Amino acid sequence: MSRVDSRDLPLTTNSDLAAERYRQGVDLLLSAWPGAADVLDQAIDADPEFALAHAARARLHAIRGEMPHARRRIEAAEAILGRDGNEREQSHVAILSRVIDGQSAAALKQVCTHLDSWPRDILIFSLPLGAFGLFAFSGMAEHDQARVDLCERHAQHFKADDWWFLTYRGWAHTENGNLTLGRDLTERGLDQRTENANAAHALAHALYEAGAIEETERMISEWLPDYDRSGTLHGHIAWHAALAALERGDVERALTVYADSIRPEVSLGLPINVVSDTASFLWRLQAYGHDVPEGLWEEAAAYSEGYFQKAGLAFIDVHMAILAAATGDRSAVERRVEALTRLVDSGALGAGPVAPALCQAVLAFAEEQYKACIRFLEPVADEVVRIGGSGAQRQMIEDMLLLAFMQGGEPSKARDLLDRRLHRRTSPRDMRWRDSVTG
């Protein structure tokens, strides 16, 4: 094979081995499969002047939150391109540099322009997509539709069996409410490349959103054992299995999955997943009326102390507030609300006022001040999508409002919300709640 990437775009390298390792490394990165770091390092060893290999390695460092390493790698790529490189590679590296520097809005704008010229540049195409991508964390209310629009605009440039495009296109449609198409595309993507954690994850979403709870658990139990625990999505995919067990009311099974794969002591996932998965699982467990085993809240909160102390990423701010509220650290929630409010006032927070309101609602709910929770949460309920993440992750916020209605003396509002939810998907838990508020 000539010196091109996995989608036939030319690469500036004098080494066939470097090009081969780059193709393999990027595909591993984009399937969230272990080994990408080693393979990309081999590409750099084969050609130290291979700018895109340095850039891909920078992207992998950034995904893992290893920002000093990411900056050094992207600076190496920029220096090489100062001596050599084509227009596509210049733009590719510039976009990744902006992402690493936190210039998300500028990066998103440049991504869309870049893809008009090079739609098959999949490392760049991946940046706006996913639950934690540039669209999701932009603060846009319509980011689910924006992902679909971007994929459909460029669908003609991909082969029908392209595993990467099938995976991300399917996930985009699932999150935007087209569950039948989303599932079909995602299943085809997983069939094309079974060693693809992003496809397994996307399929878990499609099944869960469709109310296929037992099928969700079965799919994960069959697929996950072949995914090494070092894979970045191992714990998060297990989280989906734990949620499915909770949905069925099987608390013992849910806690077993949590203890085996999700809790901070065992998970090797990314900090954003470990913090959000532990906080949201334990919140659901407690809110649904079950006992949280002693020490689990404190363990999750202790882990979170090493990350995300600075407010400004709305999705994670809400989960950090949950951990603080659950462990009685009221002042930590108040400080985060104050910091978020300052960011809102300065225009620096894409998600806007919804972020501090959600943190205030979290604290009120934890203190069993249900009317106060409703007062904070109900006015922004339609804006929760602005914090990013997935529909399954944001469902916790809707659950919070629903339970606040039920506990705060608003049964008619609880029934209305449950009717809307049951119209979207069949949920054993929602049907039990509907019976309780009707009876």
Intrachain domains 1-127 and 308-439 with the same fold: yes
Would you say residue 254 has pLDDT above 70? yes
Percent of the chain residues past pLDDT 70, beyond the cut: 99
Which of 238, 240, 235, 294 has the alpha carbon at shortest distance from 266? 235
Rounded Cα–Cα distance for residues 113 and 252 (Å) = 50
| Confidence bin at 344 (pLDDT 50/70/90) | very high
> Counting Cβ atoms within 10 Å, is residue 237 exposed (0-12), middle (13-18) or buried (19+)?
buried
- Provide the pLDDT for residue 427: 81
Contact by Cβ (8 Å): 374, 404? yes
pLDDT digits (tens, 9 = 90+) for 353-374: 999 999 999 999 999 999 999 9
Q: At what angle do helices 411-424 and 428-438 cross, to 10 degrees?
A: 150
User: Comparing 433 with 19, which gets the higher pLDDT?
Assistant: 19
Would you say residue 28 has pLDDT above 70? yes
* Interval 51-75 mean pLDDT: 97
**Identity of the amino acid at 280:** S
Long-range interactions of 161-165: CB distance < 8 A, separation 24+: 161/188, 161/192, 162/7, 162/192, 163/31, 163/189, 163/190, 163/192, 163/193, 163/196, 163/199, 164/27, 164/30, 164/31, 164/122, 164/126, 164/189, 165/122, 165/189
* Interval 62-76 mean pLDDT: 96
| Confidence bin at 1 (pLDDT 50/70/90) | very low
For residues 256-267, one letter each, b for 16 or more C-beta atoms within 10 angstroms of the residue's C-beta and e for the rest, the string is ebbeebbbbebb
In a 13 Å sphere around the CA of 58, the CA atoms on its Cβ side amount to 27
Q: Which three-class secondary structure string do you get for 235-302?
A: HHHHHHHHHHHHHHCCHHHHHHHHHHHHCCCCCCCCHHHHHHHHHHHHHHHHHCCCCCCCCHHHHHHH
As given in the structure block, the two tokens for residue 75 are 């600076």
- Provide the pLDDT for residue 418: 92
Would you say residue 2 has pLDDT above 70? no
Domain boundaries, the chain: 1-127, 308-439
Q: At what angle do helices 67-81 and 51-63 cross, to 10 degrees?
A: 160
Would you say residue 83 has pLDDT above 80? no
CA 258 centroid distance within chain:
18
Which of 216, 139, 255, 222 has the alpha carbon at shortest distance from 425? 216
* Interval 254-271 mean pLDDT: 97
pTM for the full predicted model: 0.95
Residue written as token pair 């081995």:
17
- Provide the pLDDT for residue 49: 95
Distant-in-sequence, close-in-space partners of 170: CB < 8 Å, separation ≥ 6: 181, 182, 183, 184, 185, 186, 187, 188, 189, 199, 202, 206
pLDDT digits (tens, 9 = 90+) for 135-187: 999 999 999 999 999 999 999 999 999 999 999 999 999 999 999 999 999 99
DSSP 310: S
Contact by Cβ (8 Å): 392, 240? yes
Would you say residue 425 has pLDDT above 90? no
Architecture of domain 308-439: Alpha Horseshoe (1.25)
- Provide the pLDDT for residue 439: 64
**Which H or E run includes 410?**
none
* Interval 92-103 mean pLDDT: 97
As given in the structure block, the two tokens for residue 179 are 């569950």
Percent of the chain residues past pLDDT 90, beyond the cut: 93
The per-residue pLDDT of the chain, averaged, comes to: 96
| Confidence bin at 435 (pLDDT 50/70/90) | confident
CATH superfamily of 1-127: Tetratricopeptide repeat domain (1.25.40.10)
Rounded Cα–Cα distance for residues 385 and 308 (Å) = 20
Would you say residue 401 has pLDDT above 60? yes
Rounded Cα–Cα distance for residues 28 and 37 (Å) = 9
